[in-house]
């Protein structure tokens, strides 16, 4: 697959005059650069857009694509960079993408020159912080985008602190100034107070209308430092994303730090020492365009023909196989699952489809981990590991939407490290593996939580965090009406319904960010739920001792309402080991479906018996108790509607 001369290339500005580009007297940079040379680093600017969810990153990226002429109006599709359907439907960015933009603007010396800007779009959600950090590591500058109608939110702060850790040049921008509710003066003050600039230094734009976006591009050229690196050293390039393409295999997105990466070379992945032949090297503008190679500071993609993203790991360093670099670039780590859940097909015969679907999803998601597991109640399924709740929900969405699966997922839990009585250690991600009676000390993961909200809600937020075993670390007023509360809190207390309750207690105004912060010893117990004395493994949970009774009682009550009455009485119990801590009872019912059939033709009786048999097919039998699948779905769901729906079916 040789490199062909790209039709519209954004390569080396030196191959053109430095006046305004002839092809486009407007502001976009020169087109049709010669592709036999490499763009000099002093004409390159690598930047990303960081912000809280929905503050407009993808819309601003789209507008920049249009303004630089990379994406004509005809090809324009809202949020072009958010290619995954779910990203577009949910309106959130999951995978970081990048694009090369030509722009003619004045450099630090005031001279107008053609430049090449590499824009890296970043996921805006807390689950994908590692991907954000790798995108930031590929940049020298960051546009800090804040919704002028909402102001600074939790992820604004989290991403700003990440950008500062990477010493990026921060360009503050207020977006959505077209909205009637926009308060640019108020929030410019907030941002100035936060990053130590003047309120007038905060740019004001509307990514929707394009107002002010040119000035942002000019500011990127003027203020973001040009990339530096050693063009003569052995090649080192950082992988900041990799995507599986059904037809072309894995596309690996890289930023070159030292040396050059050219096609037909053999390269080595430094974290795994895997060696591959480079089939293609190119740039993205806005789609893949092969080129002669990438030099210092350049951002683009490479293809080696591998079929699995786990061979192209985000944060890894690429170098030559022969005379390659000896020291990798810093910051690489293997993705660490934070949240585990069991995924089971409602129809057991779908298990092979679920297995194949997970295999395919993992081709494009190195952070997804899974292994087969069985449940007495739910049958054959998989214990899956995710970066966080959103990652879990997106994966489940894709399995159901793209593979037509109906799934039950068990309550999400985290990873526990146990010190056992015999001095050994164990790691538990599934309540069913809890070693009853042999545990000396239990350690649970904890997180640093940041909640941003109007000051009026401080009371309800503090009450909720304290009820979730949070300990207050600090509280700062960003302005006279908005406050940031910082807590240390167990991850297990966040991953289920904390965010939903926080939102409902603050009328949707609070925003949340959390990041791993080590572990702590905790007094945790495994609560089992028994039907007629038979434990139902799908309902077991690891909870703090103080919350055990509440969990057991709520599950027993929920199941009493969800499980249909049987021909006999069914006790529902919650237990810690052998100790019963809660109990409910489903009263017996004598149900003779033929009781109303006095006489009448045999076909009606047969239909009623057939219907009863059909209904039994959808039952899971625990011991002698028939539990409808909807009851499992509802009992394991935090969604109250699911519970109401299932009760209605009884």
Ligand X SMILES: Nc1nc2c(ncn2[C@@H]2O[C@H](COP(=O)(O)OP(=O)(O)OP(=O)(O)O)[C@@H](O)[C@H]2O)c(=O)[nH]1
Give binding residues for GTP as ranges. Answer: 54-59, 175-178
Q: Residue 172 or residue 342: which is nearer to ligand X going by CB?
A: 172
CA distance 2 to 123: 32
Decide if residue 79 touches ligand X (CB under 6 A).
Answer: yes
Per residue, the 3-state secondary structure of 294-349, as one string, reads ECCCCEEEEECCCCCHHHCCCCCEEEECCCCCCCCCCCCCCCCCCEEEEEEECCHH
Q: Residue 54 or residue 183: which is nearer to ligand X going by CB?
A: 54
CA distance 380 to 382: 7
The sign of the dihedral angle between the CA atoms of 211, 212, 218, 220 is: negative
Residue 494, Cα to own-chain centre: how many angstroms?
15
What does DSSP say about strands 416-420 and 425-428: parallel, antiparallel, or unpaired? antiparallel
Q: Residue 45 or residue 176: which is nearer to ligand X going by CB?
A: 176
Give the residue, chosen from 31, 55, 95, 236, that forms a contact with ligand X under the rule CB under 6 A: 55
Taking the complex as a whole, the smallest distance from the CB of residue 553 to ligand X amounts, in Å, to 38
Give the residue, chosen from 10, 44, 48, 51, that forms a contact with ligand X under the rule CB under 6 A: 51
In the numeric block, which tokens belong to residue 310? 């786990």
Q: Residue 77 or residue 649: which is nearer to ligand X going by CB?
A: 77
Decide if residue 482 touches ligand X (CB under 6 A).
Answer: no
Q: Residue 59 or residue 429: which is nearer to ligand X going by CB?
A: 59
Contact call for residues 278 and 304 (beta carbons, < 8 A): yes
CA distance 237 to 460: 48
Decide if residue 513 touches ligand X (CB under 6 A).
Answer: no
Decide if residue 56 touches ligand X (CB under 6 A).
Answer: yes
Decide if residue 212 touches ligand X (CB under 6 A).
Answer: no
Taking the complex as a whole, the smallest distance from the CB of residue 164 to ligand X amounts, in Å, to 20
Decide if residue 390 touches ligand X (CB under 6 A).
Answer: no
Give the residue, chosen from 14, 37, 40, 54, that forms a contact with ligand X under the rule CB under 6 A: 54
**How many other C-beta atoms can be found within 10 angstroms of the C-beta atom of residue 2?**
8
Please report where in the chains the tokens 């590991």 appear, as a residue: 385
Taking the complex as a whole, the smallest distance from the CB of residue 436 to ligand X amounts, in Å, to 43
CB neighbour class for 56 (10 Å; exposed up to 12, middle 13-18, buried from 19): buried
Beta strands (DSSP E) in 37-140 are 44-51, 97-106, 112-121
> Among the candidate windows 24-32, 175-183, 354-362, 495-503, which touches ligand X by CB under 6 A?
175-183
The sign of the dihedral angle between the CA atoms of 555, 557, 558, 561 is: positive
Decide if residue 151 touches ligand X (CB under 6 A).
Answer: no
CA distance 235 to 435: 50
Give the residue, chosen from 3, 37, 66, 91, that forms a contact with ligand X under the rule CB under 6 A: 91
Q: Residue 51 or residue 291: which is nearer to ligand X going by CB?
A: 51
Q: Residue 93 or residue 414: which is nearer to ligand X going by CB?
A: 93
**Buried (b) or exposed (e) across 594-609, using 16+ Cβ within 10 A?**
eeeeeeeeeeeeeeee
Q: With CB under 6 A as the rule, give the number of residues binding ligand X.
A: 20
Give the residue, chosen from 178, 201, 218, 515, that forms a contact with ligand X under the rule CB under 6 A: 178
Which residues neighbour 559 within 8 Å (Cβ) at sequence distance 6 or greater? 529, 531, 539, 572, 584, 631, 635
Residue 399, Cα to own-chain centre: how many angstroms?
16
Give the residue, chosen from 48, 70, 92, 143, that forms a contact with ligand X under the rule CB under 6 A: 92
Which residues neighbour 247 within 8 Å (Cβ) at sequence distance 6 or greater? none
> Among the candidate windows 206-214, 254-262, 365-373, 500-508, which touches ligand X by CB under 6 A?
206-214
Give the residue, chosen from 9, 21, 59, 646, that forms a contact with ligand X under the rule CB under 6 A: 59
Helix (H, G, I), strand (E, B) or coil at 32: coil
Give the residue, chosen from 45, 113, 176, 204, that forms a contact with ligand X under the rule CB under 6 A: 176
> Among the candidate windows 29-37, 204-212, 344-352, 371-379, which touches ligand X by CB under 6 A?
204-212
Taking the complex as a whole, the smallest distance from the CB of residue 161 to ligand X amounts, in Å, to 17
What radius of gyration do the chain's Cα atoms show? 28
Q: Residue 452 or residue 633: which is nearer to ligand X going by CB?
A: 452
Decide if residue 184 touches ligand X (CB under 6 A).
Answer: no
> Among the candidate windows 172-180, 286-294, 306-314, 387-395, which touches ligand X by CB under 6 A?
172-180
Taking the complex as a whole, the smallest distance from the CB of residue 140 to ligand X amounts, in Å, to 21
CA distance 537 to 548: 16
**Buried (b) or exposed (e) across 611-644, using 16+ Cβ within 10 A?**
eeeeeeeeebebeebbbbbbbbbbbbbeeeebbe
Give the residue, chosen from 57, 260, 289, 526, that forms a contact with ligand X under the rule CB under 6 A: 57
Decide if residue 156 touches ligand X (CB under 6 A).
Answer: no
Ordered alpha helix ranges (H), 404-457: none
Decide if residue 206 touches ligand X (CB under 6 A).
Answer: yes
Give the residue, chosen from 6, 29, 41, 124, that forms a contact with ligand X under the rule CB under 6 A: 124
Decide if residue 204 touches ligand X (CB under 6 A).
Answer: no
Decide if residue 454 touches ligand X (CB under 6 A).
Answer: no
Give the residue, chosen from 208, 360, 396, 565, that forms a contact with ligand X under the rule CB under 6 A: 208
Taking the complex as a whole, the smallest distance from the CB of residue 208 to ligand X amounts, in Å, to 3
Taking the complex as a whole, the smallest distance from the CB of residue 115 to ligand X amounts, in Å, to 24
Give the residue, chosen from 14, 84, 86, 179, that forms a contact with ligand X under the rule CB under 6 A: 179
Taking the complex as a whole, the smallest distance from the CB of residue 494 to ligand X amounts, in Å, to 19
Taking the complex as a whole, the smallest distance from the CB of residue 393 to ligand X amounts, in Å, to 14
Which residues neighbour 281 within 8 Å (Cβ) at sequence distance 6 or greater? 3, 261, 262, 263, 290, 291, 292, 293, 294, 300, 301, 302, 303
Q: Residue 133 or residue 430: which is nearer to ligand X going by CB?
A: 133
Decide if residue 453 touches ligand X (CB under 6 A).
Answer: no
Taking the complex as a whole, the smallest distance from the CB of residue 414 to ligand X amounts, in Å, to 25
Decide if residue 150 touches ligand X (CB under 6 A).
Answer: no
Q: Residue 124 or residue 184: which is nearer to ligand X going by CB?
A: 124
Nearest to 190 by CA among 459, 483, 456, 574: 483
Residue with the CB atom nearest ligand X in the bound state:
124
Give the residue, chosen from 21, 68, 93, 369, that forms a contact with ligand X under the rule CB under 6 A: 93
CA dist 377 → 344, 346, 353, 557 (Å): 10, 11, 20, 19
In degrees rounded to 5, what are phi and psi of residue 326? -100, -30
Decide if residue 183 touches ligand X (CB under 6 A).
Answer: no
CA distance 312 to 250: 8
CA dist 419 → 178, 256, 441, 521, 577 (Å): 58, 45, 5, 10, 18
Contacting positions for ligand X (CB under 6 A):
51, 53-59, 79, 91-93, 124, 175-176, 178-179, 206-208
């Amino acid at each position: 697959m040789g490199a062909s001369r790209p039709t519209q290339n954004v390569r080396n500005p030196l191959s053109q005059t430095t006046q305004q580009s002839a092809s486009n007297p407007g502001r976009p940079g020169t087109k049709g650069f010669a592709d036999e040379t490499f763009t000099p680093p002093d004409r390159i600017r690598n930047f990303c857009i960081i912000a809280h969810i929905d503050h407009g990153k993808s819309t601003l990226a789209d507008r920049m694509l249009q303004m630089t002429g990379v994406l004509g109006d005809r090809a324009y599709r809202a949020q072009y960079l958010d290619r995954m359907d779910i990203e577009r439907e949910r309106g959130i960015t999951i995978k970081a993408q990048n694009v090369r933009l030509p722009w003619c603007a004045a450099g630090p010396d005031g001279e107008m020159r053609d430049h090449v800007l590499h824009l890296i779009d970043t996921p805006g959600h807390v689950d994908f912080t590692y991907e954000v950090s790798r995108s930031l590591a590929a940049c020298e500058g960051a546009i800090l985008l804040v919704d002028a109608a909402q102001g600074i939110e939790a992820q604004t702060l989290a991403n700003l602190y990440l950008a500062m850790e990477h010493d990026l040049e921060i360009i503050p921008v207020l977006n959505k100034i077209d909205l009637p509710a926009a308060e640019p003066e108020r929030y410019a003050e907030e941002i100035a107070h936060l990053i130590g600039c003047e309120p007038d230094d905060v740019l004001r734009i509307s990514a929707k209308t394009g107002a002010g976006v040119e000035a942002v591009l000019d500011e990127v050229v003027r203020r973001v430092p040009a990339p530096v690196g050693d063009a003569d050293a052995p090649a080192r390039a950082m992988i900041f994303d990799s995507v599986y393409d059904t037809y072309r295999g894995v596309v690996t997105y890289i930023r070159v730090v030292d040396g050059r990466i050219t096609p037909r070379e053999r390269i080595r992945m430094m974290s795994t020492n895997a060696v591959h032949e480079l089939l293609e090297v190119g740039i993205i503008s806005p789609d893949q365009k092969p080129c002669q190679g990438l030099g210092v500071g350049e951002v683009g993609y490479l293809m080696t023909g591998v079929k699995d993203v786990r061979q192209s790991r985000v944060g890894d360093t690429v170098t030559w196989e022969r005379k390659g670099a000896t020291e990798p670039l810093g910051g690489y780590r293997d993705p660490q699952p934070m949240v585990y859940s069991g995924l089971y097909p409602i129809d057991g015969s779908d298990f092979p489809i679920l297995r194949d679907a997970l295999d395919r999803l993992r081709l494009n998601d190195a952070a997804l981990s899974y292994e087969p597991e069985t449940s007495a109640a739910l049958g054959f399924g998989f214990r899956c590991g995710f970066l966080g709740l959103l990652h879990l929900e997106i994966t489940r969405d894709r399995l159901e939407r793209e593979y037509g699966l109906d799934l039950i997922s068990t309550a999400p839990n985290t990873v526990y490290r146990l010190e056992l009585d015999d001095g050994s250690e164990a790691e538990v991600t599934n309540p069913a593996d809890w070693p009853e009676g042999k545990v000396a000390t239990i350690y649970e993961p904890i997180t640093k939580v940041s909640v941003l909200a109007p000051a009026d809600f401080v009371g309800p937020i503090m009450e909720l965090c304290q009820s979730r075993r949070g300990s207050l670390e600090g509280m700062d007023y960003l302005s006279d009406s908005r406050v940031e509360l910082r807590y240390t809190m167990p991850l297990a207390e966040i991953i289920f319904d904390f965010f939903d309750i926080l939102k409902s207690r603050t009328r949707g105004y609070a925003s949340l960010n959390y990041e791993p912060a080590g572990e702590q010893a905790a007094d945790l117990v495994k609560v089992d739920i028994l039907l007629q004395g038979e434990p139902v493994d799908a309902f077991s949970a690891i909870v703090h001792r103080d919350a055990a009774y509440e969990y057991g009682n709520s599950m027993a009550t929920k199941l009493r309402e969800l499980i249909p009455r049987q021909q006999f009485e069914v006790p529902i119990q919650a237990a810690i080991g052998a100790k019963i801590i809660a109990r409910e009872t489903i009263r017996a019912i004598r149900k003779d479906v033929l009781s109303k059939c006095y006489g009448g033709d045999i076909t009606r009786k047969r239909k009623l018996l057939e219907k009863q048999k059909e209904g039994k097919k959808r039952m899971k039998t625990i011991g002698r108790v028939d539990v409808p699948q909807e009851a499992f779905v509802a009992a394991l769901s935090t969604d109250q509607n699911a519970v109401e729906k299932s009760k209605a079916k009884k």
